[in-house]
């Protein structure tokens, strides 16, 4: 059943909701209607594909993974190590590469980060002696990052706790077939995001 979207006032506040929609979802849907070009009467813009009940439930459940899981991993990482979750990801990816070296653009892809965010974090790690950057000779502005021995030892020390957290919060609470489905979902979503990045900013695309 398609959810009857919330009518909004000119300020975007919820005025009415349809059946089966919780208050948080209603506010979100109503705000979306306002921001997508709803008229002064508050009617949703024509052609918007609003979420049905099953789609909305799936979206809110996935939002918990997107928001709460990284926050939980980050909090645990910082309690147990000098690293943030994202810093660990950067160092971990480099530790798996030949000569512990990778181009910055490829490192951004592997860590699902923008080049600007990655450059900021890499600069911080470089100051701490955990990695080094170098320009690659030739055309273009190609830069590689290389994990130092100190950085490698940091990853080795942090890895057991990180793996334990990943198992506790995700892997061990799912069945094998659910993990396979989650992998397919993650691959599909990542591909869709990469296509969008390529359309908006070719230099940010993998």
> What does the pLDDT read at residue 11?
36
> What does the pLDDT read at residue 79?
97
> What does the pLDDT read at residue 29?
52
138 compared with 23, residue with greater pLDDT: 138
Portion of the chain with pLDDT greater than 90, in percent: 64
Residue 81: pLDDT over 90: yes
Q: Is residue 30 within a helix (H) or strand (E), and if so which, with residue range?
A: helix 23-35
Q: Order the strands of the 101-103 sheet from edge to edge.
A: 101-103, 143-147, 131-135
Cβ atoms < 10 Å from Cβ of 204 = 16
Gyration radius of the chain over CA positions: 22
| In contact, 33 and 45? CB cutoff 8 Å | yes
| In contact, 63 and 40? CB cutoff 8 Å | no
Measured between its terminal Cα atoms, the distance across the chain in Å is 38
**Global pTM value:** 0.71
Q: How confident is the model at residue 62 (pLDDT cuts 50, 70, 90)?
A: very high
Q: Which CATH architecture has domain 53-173?
A: Orthogonal Bundle (1.10)
138 compared with 101, residue with greater pLDDT: 101
> What does the pLDDT read at residue 123?
97
Alpha carbon distance 85, 73 (integer Å): 6
> What does the pLDDT read at residue 75?
97
User: How many helices (H) does the chain have, and how many strands (E)?
Assistant: 7, 5
Domain with CATH 1.10.10.10 in the chain: 53-173
Summarised one tens digit per residue, pLDDT across range 111-130 is 989 999 999 999 999 999 99
> What does the pLDDT read at residue 27?
41
> What does the pLDDT read at residue 15?
31
For range 45-54, the mean pLDDT: 87
């Amino acid at each position: 059943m398609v959810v009857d979207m919330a009518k909004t006032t000119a300020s975007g506040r919820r005025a009415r909701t349809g059946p089966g929609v919780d208050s948080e979802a209603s506010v979100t849907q109503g705000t979306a209607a306002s921001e997508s070009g709803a008229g002064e009467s508050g009617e949703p813009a024509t052609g918007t594909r609003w979420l049905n009940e099953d789609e909305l439930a799936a979206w809110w459940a996935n939002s918990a993974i997107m928001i709460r899981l990284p926050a939980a991993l980050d909090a645990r990482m910082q309690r147990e190590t000098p690293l943030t979750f994202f810093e660990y990801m950067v160092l971990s990816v480099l530790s798996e590469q030949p000569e512990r070296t990778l181009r910055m653009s490829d490192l951004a892809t592997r860590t699902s980060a923008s080049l600007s965010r990655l450059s900021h974090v890499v600069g911080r790690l470089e100051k701490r002696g955990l990695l080094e950057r170098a320009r690659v000779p030739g055309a273009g502005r190609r830069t590689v990052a290389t994990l130092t021995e100190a950085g490698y030892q940091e990853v080795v020390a942090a890895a057991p706790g990180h793996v334990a957290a990943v198992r506790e919060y995700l892997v061990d609470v799912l069945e094998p077939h659910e993990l396979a489905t989650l992998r397919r979902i993650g691959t599909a979503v990542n591909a869709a995001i990469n296509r969008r990045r390529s359309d908006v900013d070719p230099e940010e695309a993998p």
